[in-house]
Every structure is written in C-alpha cells, then in structure tokens.
Chain A
Amino acid sequence: AQSVTQLDSHVSVSEGTPVLLRCNYSSSYSPSLFWYVQHPNKGLQLLLKYTSAATLVKGINGFEAEFKKSETSFHLTKPSAHMSDAAEYFCVVSVPQAGTALIFGKGTTLSVSS
C-alpha cells in the first residue's frame, strides 16, 4: 500500500535559521512526490515536485527537497527561514500505477518567530 507520513505536526524556528520538514513515504512503485504550502484560509500552492529526474529538487521561495530512495524520505529544507514562510506544509505522493490519485500527508505547521 502507498502512504506518506509527515513526522512532525508542528515545527518552530527563529527567523534566519534553517528549516527542516520531514516526510517519509511508502510505495511499491516509483513514486512522484510533491510539497505544497498552504497559508491560512487559502488553497494549496505547489512548492516543488520530484518525478524521477534529479534527486535534489529546487522549488520556489528558496525551498528544496532531496529524494532518498534508500531512506524512503523526501524532506523539505530551506537554509534561512523568513516570517512569510509561516504556513502549513503538505507532503504528497502520487503512484498512478497503484490506481490512486494523490495521497496527502497530515501536514506540518511551520511557525517562525522573530
């Protein structure tokens, strides 16, 4: 079965410090993986996606994620947090061969303090 687990429901950082949001997945096939961001009472916006090309994926707003097949992980990072990064982040796995559309993680809320 396919699944995605976001290891932290809430992460707090100070402005200017690194951000790490952790995501593990489970899949019998080669998955596509995505990170989306959601600001309060808004829709979701794509940050980045991995679709079997380069394992290090760069996204918008300085975020990047690395696909590690051996660890079944797709952690999201940013070198220096900004106040505007405060939002909810979702890790998503897509495995069309398994007949599923998209599977969303439960989300990680990122808080950024000044």
Chain B
Amino acid sequence: DGGITQSPKYLFRKEGQNVTLSCEQNLNHDAMYWYRQDPGQGLRLIYYSQIVNDFQKGDIAEGYSVSREKKESFPLTVTSAQKNPTAFYLCASTQGAGANVLTFGAGSRLTVL
C-alpha cells in the first residue's frame, strides 16, 4: 500500500545534539512538507519542498534543516539551535502544490532530556 513512513516514532535527545527525522513516501507525490505540532497550537509549517533539490522555509524554520535529494525522501534535521525542540513532528505529501489533499505520516515524537 502507498503511504508515508516516518521514523523513528519516538526519539529522545540530549540538549546540544542534532537529530534527523526520516520521511519516506511511495505515493509518487511531488510536494512534501514538515509540520510541528504542539498542544493547543495546531500545526505549524517548518519546511516544504515542491520538487527535488528545492525547498522553502515555512513559518518556523529557525533551528531546522532539510534536504530533498530524492523525490521519495524528505528528512528533517533538528539542530541544537532549535530552542524548544520537544514536539510531535508530522511529515506530509501531496501530488502538487496548492489546494490538494495532504497525506500524512504517523508522526515522530521528539523529547529533549
């Protein structure tokens, strides 16, 4: 079945460490997104990519980095510069940009110890 796979599901990090969250899709979707979810705040866009080797900052990109070397993969690195990284991270994809339906992964929960 087609879908989005995020890993790991749970991740613990010490302060000062970088961590990378994986997002892989086999839907042949062009666009991929990373969102951060905090209780009571909805979803906030971190980065998005509409084509391979290109990506754009979202609303809260500071302290994060991404790459899009392959169409099916869009990893997110949470760097030590991110002041409050503990959150639930969701990856999503869609066939094209704009008003298209997003398909979401199951999420990765990052906790900083």
Contact A101 B97 (CB under 8 A): yes
Known: A101-B33, A101-B48. A94 touches B107 (CB 8 A): no
A-B contact count (CB 8 A): 53
Interface flag for A45 (CB, 8 Å): yes
Contact residues, B99-113 vs A (CB, 8 A): 99, 101-102, 104-107, 109
Q: Are A94 and B106 in contact, with the CB atoms below 8 A?
A: no
Distance in Å: Cβ of A24 to nearest Cβ of chain B: 14
> Are B101 and A49 in touch, CB under 8 angstroms?
yes
Known: A49-B101, A101-B97. A42 touches B42 (CB 8 A): no
Q: Of the 9-residue stretches A11-19, A60-68, A69-77, A103-111, which lies at the interface with chain B? A: A103-111
**Cβ A107 vs Cβ B42 within 8 A:** yes
- Interface residue B45 (Cβ < 8 Å from any Cβ of A): yes
Contact B42 A94 (CB under 8 A): no
Q: How large is the interface on A (under 10, 10 to 19, 20 to 34, 35 or more residues)?
A: 20 to 34
Which B residues lie within 8 Å of A44 (CB)? 43, 90, 92, 102, 104
Instruction: Knowing A43-B90, A43-B107 are in contact, say whether A102-B42 is a contact too (CB < 8 A).
Output: no
In the complex, whether A25 has a CB less than 8 A from a CB of chain B is no
| 4 nearest A-B residue pairs (beta carbon) | A43-B104, A96-B98, A32-B99, A94-B99
- Residues of B near any A CB (own CB < 8 A): 4, 6, 33, 35, 40-45, 48, 58, 88, 90, 92, 97-99, 101-102, 104-107, 109
